[in-house]
A and B are shown apart, each in its own frame.
Chain A
């Protein structure tokens, strides 16, 4: 069967759909320019589980659960589910940690960088420029033989682990529902103020996540791959989806009155230009070395890729580290510890890129 969603118009349709949906999620309650932000939402999940205690960013985001389970459903429906693992998991974990730290210095993943731009936050331009430079550095390593090695086929049930973890999160959430004005409900933390307190209704978020997960698995939507393929192969296929996302989110924001252009006073953002650039640069390099943007890693987790799952867990742990040690930025700007972590992250990623070549591949 021809896969329409993997054609040029398919990926443009999916990107456009995600843009509108993200804008609507903001309208329905998600924080501004954060309709979908994989890094922010995984950080909120880390907070909901109590892995960090930053009281303003704690919420079990159903969108993330939906991303993995939607992809899982699509992979099974179209017989694409393949359990595989074993391509340098510890390296992928570390890349996930630093990808998250870089993203939290900028205050958003590539998805949110695009949505911030679509909402008029001009600081996103610095972030996107950093993202492109980070990915460009990643392509230099790729050209020079960087390769984390092959995965191998494994037990079907091994590929079920990440989808089951997500299902478990959903069950925990249903049994520990948010109590108005309380910051804890049984096992879970819930922000009473700040971005973590802002969310669309659970069922809306979950259905949106499932839809995106389903469509993105089939279309292979990837924000990092979009820029990487453009640089590496001069191929615009995935880039079409990325552009469509920005355009439709921008138009939807105009219609919903969510567009506000400028550098200053933007929601959940700071305007330290260099650090916006550098934070996203680190994240872009880490995503390029790991072979996918944070969204794509979730979709791969849903179709049985155990290494992508390890990267996702690295990101969640990275969020805990970032908040426990004060590495994450706030609207007031970056922290000294954050700058230190950024430098360490760049050194680690460059070392990975330089030393991990697989000649036998």
Chain B
């Protein structure tokens, strides 16, 4: 069961704050982060890696990107 963080429409640094909060809460597992800009996609991926998580998959959709991260 993957947790979802919906950061669409939020500007810097909200998507990263929300992702990092979820990472801290879960410690390990899988999170799906929804974002709608390329900047947020890069920032979330970078933040996940810096917390020792890996980016499993990035899927573009109509609204932006669905980023799956896990540890």
Contact = CB atoms under 8 A, between A and B. Distances in A.
B9 A87 contact: yes
A225 interface: yes
14 contacts: A78-B38, A87-B9, A149-B9, A150-B8, A151-B9, A153-B36, A222-B12, A228-B13, A232-B13, A232-B17, A235-B47, A235-B50, A291-B11, A361-B10
Contacts, number: 57
Interface in A216-238: 220, 222, 225, 228-229, 232-233, 235, 237
A222 B43 CA distance: 13
A207 to B, nearest CB: 25
B55 interface: no
A87 B37 contact: no
B12 A233 contact: no
Interface residues of B, number: 21
A345 B10 CA distance: 25
A153 B20 CA distance: 25
Nearest to A229: B13
A359 interface: no
Nearest to B7: A361
B9 A237 contact: no
A142 interface: yes
A233 B8 contact: no
What 9 A-B pairs come out closest when comparing CB atoms?
A150-B9, A291-B11, A151-B9, A80-B38, A291-B12, A6-B42, A220-B39, A150-B10, A152-B9
Interface in A1-41: 3, 6
B14 interface: yes
Contact of B42 (A3, A225, A233): A3
Interface in A67-100: 78, 80, 82, 84, 87
Contacts of B42: 3, 6, 220
A42 interface: no
A294 to B, nearest CB: 14
Contacts of B50: 233, 235
Interface string B1-42: 000000011111110111010000000000000001111001
Given A80-B37, A220-B39, A151 B11 contact: yes
Contacts of A271: none
Contacts of A291: 11-13
Main secondary structure of the interface of B (DSSP, over half): helix
Nearest to B9: A150
Contact of A82 (B10, B11, B13, B36): B36
Interface string A295-320: 00000000001010000000000000
A292 interface: yes
Contacts of A220: 39, 42-43
Interface string B37-71: 11100110011001000000000000100000000
B11 A87 contact: yes
A325 B46 CA distance: 45
Nearest to B50: A235
A361 B14 contact: yes
A197 B58 CA distance: 50
B9 A225 contact: no
A192 to B, nearest CB: 41
Interface in A139-155: 142-143, 147-153
A152 B64 CA distance: 12
Given A6-B42, A235-B50, 15 more contacts: A87-B9, A142-B13, A143-B17, A151-B11, A222-B12, A225-B12, A225-B13, A232-B13, A232-B17, A233-B16, A233-B47, A291-B11, A291-B13, A292-B11, A307-B11
